[in-house]
Amino acid sequence: MSTHKPPVIAIDAMGGDIGLDVTLTAIALIQKRHNDVHMLIVGDEIAIRAHKAFPAIDDGRICIRHTTQVVAMDEAPASVLRHKTDSSMWKSIEAVRDGDAQACVSAGNTGALMASSRYILKMLPGISRPAICAVVPSRGGHVHWLDLGANVDAKPDQLVQFAVMGSELVKAVDEKAQPIVGLLNIGEEAIKGNDIVKETSKLLEQTGLNYCGFVEGNDIFLKEHLDIVVCDGFVGNVALKSVEGIAKYIQTTLEQEFRHSIFSKIAALFSLPVLRRTKRRIDPRTYNGATLLGLQGIVIKSHGNADAFAFANAINVARLEITNGIIGHIRKQLEQPQPRIPAEDTPA
């Protein structure tokens, strides 16, 4: 990945709950904001060109690659692998494999995106499955959290790989020399938790990572010195969605109470700037764009129901990861010897 050639990002224009309305508007936003990015729009060329949100400015940084198929949001991964190899999702990933793009972004269905990415790009040496890594706001700024649903269970050595990959991602993107890694558990003491987290913790202590030990759910958002939180995909997915649920619940409750009476409506008017600033700081759209880590290429998953602002943020994640050469960093780190669970106690 040369830094002299401007990066190209392949965009699955047809993916997501909404499709072109969102993806094309986001592409126009990125085109305006970042002079250094080229974009390859993958989808139905006629529909794209005819769409009102199709970028008006033709500055040579936008190309279209025509495809005839679309992956449905509820389509089984196996069906995609067999029947949807001319879909916008598939062709976006292929563009990365073939070097026509250095990253791809899709708001399409997660299972299909994962399966297709594994099939087309292959995993990095030593990695068996990708992990989904997203950024969430925290008292210390933000935290990278993985796995958020790629693996329904994970063995200790896989969790260690997640920690290694997350650590490299933060080093590159946030420019931190020694990012701090925590392992999600139900208590901070070494005796707490199930066998898998106990074993993982022992392995993590043997790595060169800046491992701070077990962290609890609340620490994700409240512990100031924490950069990466590692857990298996079942726990991560449930916890992240629970967090999204309560945040939405709090927002709705606040809105209801501000609509409660004429007095509270006046208070709402006075409070608008405060509420807007607060919303911006916790807005999940700001944090849209999860990385599928462990692949031989950059694949960014946007929320299916993202709007253009959120989808543009996902494209920006791709841009940052290309600029920082994240795949090279992870590959290099994985070539280091990883700690192993000893089969039995042997003298050193």
The residue ranges that bind a copy of itself (CB under 8 A) are: 74, 76, 137-139, 149, 152-153, 184-186, 189, 191, 193-194, 216-222, 231, 233-235, 237-250, 252-254, 257-258, 260, 263-264, 266-268, 270-271, 273-275, 277-278, 281-282
H/E element, 193 = none
Residue closer to a copy of itself, measured from CB, 48 or 148: 148
**Smallest separation (angstroms) from a copy of itself to the CB of 79:** 12
Round the CA-based radius of gyration of the chain to a whole number and report it: 21
**Smallest separation (angstroms) from a copy of itself to the CB of 75:** 11
What the block records as the tokens of 228 is 């990466």
**Smallest separation (angstroms) from a copy of itself to the CB of 237:** 4
Q: CA 120 → CA 95, 155, 276, 296, distances in Å?
A: 10, 25, 42, 9
Do residues 86 and 260 touch, judged by C-beta distance below 8 A? no
**Smallest separation (angstroms) from a copy of itself to the CB of 73:** 12
Q: What's the CA gap between 139 and 73, in Å, rounded?
A: 34
**Smallest separation (angstroms) from a copy of itself to the CB of 50:** 34
**Smallest separation (angstroms) from a copy of itself to the CB of 152:** 4
Residue closer to a copy of itself, measured from CB, 5 or 82: 82
Residue closer to a copy of itself, measured from CB, 122 or 280: 280
Cis peptide upstream of residue 147 (ω within 30 degrees of 0): yes
Q: CA 144 → CA 53, 214, 240, 263, 327, distances in Å?
A: 32, 16, 12, 41, 17
Residue closer to a copy of itself, measured from CB, 47 or 72: 72
**Smallest separation (angstroms) from a copy of itself to the CB of 301:** 14
Q: How would you label 26-56 residue by residue, b for 16+ Cβ within 10 Å and e otherwise?
A: bbbbbbeebeebbbbbbbbeeebeebebbbe
Residue closer to a copy of itself, measured from CB, 225 or 241: 241
3-state secondary structure of 272: helix
Residue closer to a copy of itself, measured from CB, 68 or 256: 256
Residue closer to a copy of itself, measured from CB, 45 or 216: 216
Q: What's the CA gap between 138 and 225, in Å, rounded?
A: 10
Do residues 184 and 215 touch, judged by C-beta distance below 8 A? yes
Q: State phi, psi for 293 to the nearest 5 degrees.
A: -85, 145
Do residues 42 and 106 touch, judged by C-beta distance below 8 A? no
Residue closer to a copy of itself, measured from CB, 263 or 347: 263
**Smallest separation (angstroms) from a copy of itself to the CB of 72:** 13
**Smallest separation (angstroms) from a copy of itself to the CB of 138:** 7
Residue closer to a copy of itself, measured from CB, 185 or 296: 185
Q: What's the CA gap between 102 and 7, in Å, rounded?
A: 6
Instruction: Residue 73: name the closest of 301, 240, 318, 297 by CA.
Output: 301
